[in-house]
Structure formats: structure tokens, C-alpha cells
Structure 1
Amino acid sequence: MQSSWLTPVRVVPMAFLVAIATGTSLLSLPVSSTGEGSSGVLPALFTTVSAVCVTGLTSVDTATFWSPTGQGIILALIQVGGFGIMTLASVLLLVIGRNLGLRNGLIAQTETHAVDLGDVRSLVRRLAVIVLTCELVITAVLLPRFRLAYDDDLPTALWHAGFHAVSAFNNAGFALYSDNLVGFVADPWVMLPLCAAVVVGGLGFPVIGEIVRTPRKRWSVHSRVTVYGTLALLAIGIVGFAVAEWSNPETIGGLGVGGKVVAAVTGGVMPRTAGFNSIDYGGATSESLMLTNVLMFIGGGSAGTAGGIKVGTFILLAVVIWSELRGEQTVSIGGRDMPSSVQRQALTVALLAVAAIMAGTMAMLIATDLDFEPLLFESISAFSTVGLSTGITPELPAAGELVLICLMFIGRVGVVTVGAALALSHRRRRYTLPEERIIVG
């Protein structure tokens, strides 16, 4: 009975909960914060959930509240959360020469969304190589800039470069500066490498692996949808952000043309669930906030470090709508028909995401006196594990922080996975009922 209950869809949320409990305990230690005594449970819990769920929302100032030890713990939690707890466990098993085993393979498959169980072993190996390679490359690119322009010594520059490289590739959005990355808004040598890391990390590990080893003409439909959908959304985000903020004196209006271009690129990339603030979103236009809400909700690629409902889900639903408007009996993408089960899955993910965000926003409206627009922005950012903020997170009461904690957890683990993990049993109906239509619209 116990073994049947410990299915992969239950083990994954449980593993995240264990990581959150461990991280909260570590950040609650006096050595983790700069003040005297413990940091307190709620700041430690909020920061841990944000790090493990690679979100980036903070209720305290990461640069001043946490000690170097605490910041190191946060970095470790980001790496564990981004890589996937069960995936990391599978890699460790491979390193010490043990067989992966059926149970561990199934768990890793759930976390990485691998299509076939036979692909899990090779996928996990490639995943480890990709993560470390990308993070080391971005660190090497950032290091000279931090050393020559911002930091007085090499160890500090290496720490800043490495921390932000890991945070960017894992789409976490944590930064070691009190204003996040606002001070680097016009610096292309810092912002563009971070943007590149965000995009690559947000594609999803299966897509990255296929890009590396497979010619473009032989890409799967999933890879093509993810890559081309990502490029289209990036273009929309960059252009839309530039139009909305170009003359806004509270954000990028006072920058030169080059600085505005860099800021626009960052503003279009970071809503893909990266979460680095290069501007004060509290001063952004309503048009920019609306665009950012949409981009955050869609998110990045599946089986990667990005959140949101995912690009593939959004594209599939768009094609379903288009096919229905045209009266087509089947839904096809890239010369392949999409099974009805996949269409139902996409619809379920999207509607559960909307329900979670609306419930979270409503709860915070009840718990606070803040306006609807910033609370909605914060809710979408939390659920989509983005981390962008209009600056209201530190102002939220304990109840508001707990709402965001729940949204971050659900958004990272996945609404469908959480629902399956909470279900005590699955019931399969062995009969069909007579059909009858209801009026739609």
C-alpha cells in the first residue's frame, strides 16, 4: 500500500517540501543573517521557497539582510531547485556508478518531462553537462566586467559573476544588490550575457539537447514550437517594452539610445520567468505592466528552469482556437495531429493557472489595502516563478507573504502535478454515457 502511494507525481512535491524545510532551517540559523540572532521563520521560509522554486521574489533585501553564508545557501537552493531535486538525485546515482533503477527513472522522468523512460539516463547526463557548461561560460563572460568596472578584488568579482550566472541560467532572478540589477540597466556587458543565459535556461533541457545534437530540419515538433514560439514572444516583448517605456522618465526615459535598447532587450527577456529587475516596475506604465503580465503567464519552455503555463501550452491552445474557428476536425502542428488528451492537458493547465492566480490575487486584496494592479502583477510573478516585482512584496503582511509562498510552490511543482499528488486515488470509468450537447457561447 505504501509503495503504491509513493508514485513519482507524489514524490516530486514531497521532495520539494523537504528541500524547503531544509533551506528554511539553514536560513533561520544566526550565521545566515547579518543581524543578531535568528532571521525569523517567515523571512527564511519566503526566501527558501523563492530560491527552491527559482522565482526571485524577496521579502527582505538579499544584499544586506543575508550574510555571505546565507547568500551561499540561497545559491545552493537555486541550483537544487533549478536542476530538479529528483534529477539531481539521479545524477548522483549515476556518478557513484549505481544503476538508475525503475523507480528513480520514473521520478526523474516526472521532473524532467522526458518522453520515454529509456531517454532518462542519457537526458540526465546531458542535463548536468549543459547546466555546468552554461553557468561556467556565463561566469567567465561576466567576470572581467565585474572585476574591471565594479569590484575591487578578484574573489568578489568571481562571487558576483558566479552568483548571477547561476541565478540567470536557472531563471531565479536573485541578485546581490539592494536594487536588484537597476544599476546595470544600460550596461550591455552585464545585461546581455544574463539575458542569453535566461533564454537558454528557459528553453527546457530536452530542447537544448536536441538543438545541440540534431540538425534543425530534424527537430521534433515540440522543439520547433518552443524555439520559434520563444523567438516570437521575445520580439513582441522587446518591441512592446520599448514602445511603452521609451519616453517614461521613471524607467528608461532618461537613458541614451544605446541604454534604452539594452533596457528594452532586458525588459522583453526577463518576463520569460527570469525576474531580474533592471527598472523600477513601480514606475512602469500600465501598458508595460499588462504586456509583462501576459509574458509572465506564458513563461518559457517545458522541462526547464522557466515557469508559467509554458510556450508549448500557449501555442497549442492558440492552434486549437484557430482550428475551431476554421471548422477543422483535427488540430495539427508541424504536420502532426495533436491527440485530444494533450489538448485537454493544455486546457487544464491554463485554467488551473488562471484559477490559482485569481484566488491568490483575491486573497491578497482581502488581506491588504493595496491596489488590484500591483497585486495581480505580484500574483502572476509568483505563480509563474518570475520574480519581477513592483516593490510591494516587503510591504505585504504575513498573510500576503503566505499567499505568495503557496503560489510559488504550485507554480514550480506544477498545478497538474500538485493535483495528482493530492489525489488519493484514480478512478477509471469502464462505460460510456449517451452524448448530449450544451450550448456554448
Structure 2
Amino acid sequence: MGIKNLATSSAPTLPDKIRTLIDRTVGSSPSRVAISAFLLVIIFFSLMLYTPLASRNGQSIEFHHAVFTATSAVTVTGLTTVPTGVQWSFFGQLMILLAFQVGGLGTLTMTSLLAIAVGRKMGLRSKMIAQEAMNIGRLGEVGSILRTVAVTSISLEATIAVILTPRFWLLGESFWEGVWHGIFYAVSAFNNAGFTPHTDGIVPYGHDLWILLPLCLGVFVGALGFPVILTLQRNLWHFKLWNLTTKLTLIGTTSLLFVGMFAWGFFEWNNPATIGAENIGDKTLHAFFASMMTRSGGFNLVDMSQINPITLLLTDVLMFIGGGSASTAGGVKITTFCVVLLAILAEARGDQHVIAFTRTIPDSVLRIAISVISMSTLFIFLGCAALVYITDESFDRVLFEVISAYATCGLSVGLSAELPPAGTYILALLMFVGRIGTNTVATGLALRSRRRLYKYPEERPIIG
């Protein structure tokens, strides 16, 4: 009898089998866990937005609109097929806010944060999940970066909300309406989501520095990346102690910000449909704001369908580059762009190695950067081909919308709202791939390292 009880108690139960399966899956492929978690979150918020409670009119919206909006929110893109302030009730807007808060910080990262909040130590499995979700180079940095994520996000979002709320009161909004709008814009800005709860967005506030500057601050900090923020917190005034990622991110970000500001302002200076009628100060403000938002912020002060074709092309390039690694921004990331640019300069000078700030960048990093850019270009090409095939839209509009979706920027020329259901699903897929794709590809390539015990003879093919 005792032996029978012992055998019965030693048999694995269903929870044990499930736990074993999860452990095996996480250990073999953290990327698969990250992708699955994002999919589950998108499905959950799609169902929430599909309920009648989420719509102002009390009726369920068409399902493709719910899926598109949920995907756009979780991937912190900001593209919409229906006006946020018109279609969605308070419950619907709350679901959208929660979606881009979860998506901005990362589903699995937030799970790890909750574990830390209740006093649990992170095990190796939890660190591996967080490392994959945030593209962290060294496993030992996971705990520090997670604490940085919590402190930075909560403090900055709260600060921006406190700044914006009184302004909305002064503009005639009620107490609770001003509080809600302050919180919504604060979370949307820091997570580079680009969603606005007002029916006409932030266009009416195009001259209001009280609103525009906090939004710029939230977008800028959110797009830096948490590893960079952690480095700045430790060694803000010691440039020599900054790692290469921090140096490339800050120098690249500020350079593109001012180059984009000058170019955008120059191209739109006399455009009567955008800033042509403004004074010099407001033109400069619009150019600065546009340059800040084109690399992932998603807010706009002018009708993007009215800007000049050359400005559309400039915006395409800035959106494609995006923000910092392990940040709430999208794109191929500024460090990827900088590594490829440095490689081109090194080749032009005849250098044998790619060097930046007295550091040699490994060839493996260069190959990963080229792979990320090449695969991103391929996805954008396929997305454009699919939309051109099913619509009669001009290529420049399609290209803009596709890059905005893949780079999770959120700027739009109005094409998203005009697409048939098949087109919205294509853009939703691009947003999903763009949000998790580059990180997954980069991490996967970095982990796929094998050594050969032999080397084939070299032969140089003709290039060019």
C-alpha cells in the first residue's frame, strides 16, 4: 500500500507537465516565447476592442478595425483606421492606453517587473526572457535595466501628465477630462505610440509650447533606449565612461534631429498647405517637432498628405532609421544605421577595420546590421507590392504608409483609413513584424555562431 502511494505521488501532475513544457520552450527559444506573448496580447486587446462596450455608439465595430487598432497599439505604432476620439468610448481608449503601455515596455519585461515588485529574485529563465524582450547584450545587466525601466517610465510619464493636465484645464476641459488627456498623452509620448484622444489630434495645439515640449521630451527619452538611459544615470557627465552604444545613439540621434529639422523646414518653408503662412518662429517650431516625431513619435501638426513629395521621401528615410535599440521606438535602429555608415566610411578611407571612438566594431556586428537592414527592406518591398496589387493608390502613398507601419512610427497620409480589410491586415502584419522582427533577427543571428576547423581559399568576386 505504501509503495503504491509512493508511486502515485511521484507521478508528474498536469501543472508539472505544463511547467516542464514552458521551461523547455523558453530554454530552447526565448524568441518564440516573446513572439507568442505579443500575439496573445494582441488577440486579447482585439477582443476587448471588439466588444460593444469599447465603442461610443454601443455597437461592435468591424473586426478588422479592432485587430488593426489593437496591433497598432501593442506595437506602439499609432496608425488608425478609425478616429480614436470619435470611435472609442472611455473603456475603448483605456484598452488602447493599456495596450501601448504593455507593448512599449514589453509584455515579458512587465512580467519580470512584477516579479521584482513583489520581492522575488529573478531566475535564469526569467532573465533570459527579459534579455530577449529588450535585446540586452549581457545577462547580468537585466536586473539593473529592469529597475531603470520601472523608475524611468513611471517618473517621466507622471511628470509629463502633471505638466499637461493643468494646461488642458486652462483650455476649457473639465477636471477629469483634463486628467485623462494628460495621462493619455504622457503614456503615448513616452512609448512613442502617437495615439491622441482628441478628435482632431494635436493640430489645434500647434503653437502651444506647454503641450508640444513635454511631448517632445517624452518621445526623445523613450526613443533613446533603456541601456542608454542606464548608462547616463551612472555616468552622465563622464563621456569617456559611456559605452559605444550610448555614444552612437546620442550622437546619431541629435545629428539626425537637427539635419531632419533643417531639411524638413527647408522643403516646407513656402508650402501654403503646411507651414508657408506661419511666421519664422512657428516654422522653426514645426520643423523641430516634425523631425522629432518622424523617427517614431507619430504625432503630427500638419496634414501629412499635403507635404511636398521631397518631404515625404525625407520622412520615409527618417522613419526607416528609427530610434535607439531596446527602446520604445521602431525602425532598424540608430546604432544599426551608424554601424553601416561607419563601415562605408572605413571602406572609403581604405581602413581594414571599422573603428569608432577608439573601439573596433567586430565584423559579426557589421554582418548583423547589414542583415537587419536587408531583411527590413525586403519586408517593406513585399508590403508595398501587396498593397499596390490590391489597391489603385500611387506608389509614394503606399511606400509612406508601409514604412510607417513597419517602422512603427504612426505618421499617415490617410491611406490606412481608406484600405479594404485585406489591406488593413497587411499593414497589421507589417506592424507586428516591424516591432519584434528586427530584434528577433539581430538576437538570433548573434546567437548563431559556429566555428569551422578549416578555411576555404579566398576569392574576390567583382563588386560594382
Task: Give TM-score scaled by structure 2 length.
Answer: 0.91
**1:25 — aligned with what?**
47
Which structure 2 residues correspond to residues 20-419 of structure 1 after superposition, within 5 A? 20-151=42-173, 153-214=174-235, 215-217=237-239, 218-415=241-438, 417=440
3-state SS of 2:417 partner: helix
In 2, Cα distance between equivalents of 1:388 and 1:235: 19
For structure 1, the residue ranges without an aligned partner over 5 or more in a row are none
In 2, Cα distance between equivalents of 1:419 and 1:298: 15
Q: Which has the higher contact order (CA 8 A, sep 6+)?
A: 1
1:84 alignment partner AA: G
User: Percent same amino acid among aligned pairs?
Assistant: 43
Deviation of 1:418 (Å): 5.8
3-state SS of 2:424 partner: helix
In 2, Cα distance between equivalents of 1:36 and 1:139: 29
3-state SS of 2:137 partner: coil
3-state SS of 1:227 partner: helix
1:207 alignment partner AA: V
Range with greater deviation from structure 2 (245-254 or 99-108): 245-254
In 2, Cα distance between equivalents of 1:122 and 1:416: 20
Conserved? CA contact 2:25–2:33, under 8 Å: no
In 2, Cα distance between equivalents of 1:378 and 1:216: 41
After superposition, the C-alpha distances for 1:178-205 in whole angstroms (9 at most, x for unaligned) are 2322222222211121011111110001
1:13 alignment partner AA: I
Conserved? CA contact 1:385–1:408, under 8 Å: yes
Measured at CA, do residues 80 and 129 of structure 1 come closer, stay the same or move farther in structure 2, by a change above 3 Å? Answer: same
CA RMSD of aligned residues (A): 1.8
2:379 alignment partner AA: A
In 2, Cα distance between equivalents of 1:24 and 1:122: 33
Choose 1 or 2 for highest CA Rg.
2
3-state SS of 2:297 partner: coil
3-state SS of 1:273 partner: helix
In 1, Cα distance between equivalents of 2:459 and 2:360: 26
Task: Give TM-score scaled by structure 1 length.
Answer: 0.96
Conserved? CA contact 2:372–2:441, under 8 Å: no
After superposition, the C-alpha distances for 1:207-253 in whole angstroms (9 at most, x for unaligned) are 11211221332111110110011000000111111111122111112
Range with greater deviation from structure 2 (211-220 or 98-107): 211-220
Conserved? CA contact 2:132–2:443, under 8 Å: no
In 1, Cα distance between equivalents of 2:41 and 2:273: 39
For structure 2, the residue ranges without an aligned partner over 5 or more in a row are 1-19
Measured at CA, do residues 150 and 249 of structure 1 come closer, stay the same or move farther in structure 2, by a change above 3 Å? Answer: farther
Conserved? CA contact 1:123–1:206, under 8 Å: yes
